[in-house]
Amino acid sequence: MAKVSTDIKERWGCVLQRRREACGMTQETLGRALGVKGTAVSNLERGRTTPARDVLASLDKALGTGDELAQLWEDLVKEGKIPWLGQMEELEKKAASILEFHPFLVPSLLQTADYATAVMRAVTPWEPQARTEASVRERIARGERFQSADTPVMMVVIGRAVLTEPIDHGPVMRGQLEYVHALAKRERITLQITEEPLHPGLVGPFTVLDPPPERELVYAESAHKGQFIHDPDAVGEFKLRFHRLQAAAMPPGQSLRLVEETIEGFAP
């Protein structure tokens, strides 16, 4: 087997650990399911050992994750890239501020389980149910950590289409808007909604993170996969883009009132 960098093994191991903990399993319990000692699971999670192909399949089966862990490993080894999810979680924890824009969805860090499930099933309906459920658990865990912490400061601009073209007209969307409204009401986030159809956010969703002592960086989404941008000039352009979006959007107070009015139009 070709040598795999420690960085890739550690990043993959972090995802394995989160999936195991989400299932309520200890390292020893998972080890017994695989026919190995708990220390073997610990070594995988800490990036000390490389998972064999049969071990990858056994892990996915034991954790009910479809083929997620096997596919993630294959993608990392083939591309030599850090998994965005593990990196994003670490950056969110360290960030002093998060500036996020999304034109037609509530940002993932602020999503409810029902909303996240509906979105993921719509975007990738061919994925195994177990993989979708695991991704939702991961997303909600990130959101809960954010909600319970005092930092980072998060400023959010969303497209008005989030309200005018909702994913449903019933309890899923109502619950999602009530959740975002509560976060904004207690000033955990600053929420603004775009007012005009033409604005600097037409380039698509993006997030600017400030994780000291590292430099600011941008995570930009695309139809294929996300991309981290570190170039200072490009990051500066995205920051300017976000601030222009803020200036052109409804003020926070007006945005909150619009959310309240929209909530009343959805069935409980």
Residue, of 178 and 86, whose pLDDT is higher: 178
Q: How confident is the model at residue 1 (pLDDT cuts 50, 70, 90)?
A: very low
Q: What is the pLDDT of residue 86?
A: 61
Q: What percent of the chain has pLDDT over 90?
A: 62
How much is the average pLDDT of 202-231? 83
Q: What is the pLDDT of residue 112?
A: 97
Neighbours of 12 (CB within 10 A): 26
Q: What is the pLDDT of residue 116?
A: 96
Note the pTM of the prediction, 2 decimals: 0.70
Residue from 84, 113, 28, 33 nearest 219 by CA = 84
- Within the chain, all domains assigned CATH 1.10.260.40 are found at 6-81
Q: Is 49 left (phi over 0), alpha (psi -120 to 50) or beta?
A: beta
CA–CA separation, 157 and 171 (whole Å):
23
| pLDDT digits 0-9 by tens, 220-262 | 876 556 677 888 889 999 999 999 999 999 999 999 999 999 9
Neighbours of 181 (CB within 10 A): 17
Q: What is the pLDDT of residue 214?
A: 76
- Within the chain, all domains assigned CATH 3.30.870 are found at 85-264
Please name every residue paired with 158 in a beta bridge, in sequence order, or none if there are none: 102, 193
| pLDDT digits 0-9 by tens, 67-124 | 889 988 887 776 544 445 567 788 888 899 999 999 999 999 999 999 999 999 998 8
CATH topology of domain 85-264: Endonuclease; Chain A (3.30.870)
Q: Is 235 left (phi over 0), alpha (psi -120 to 50) or beta?
A: alpha
Q: What percent of the chain has pLDDT over 70?
A: 93
CATH topology of domain 6-81: 434 Repressor (Amino-terminal Domain) (1.10.260)
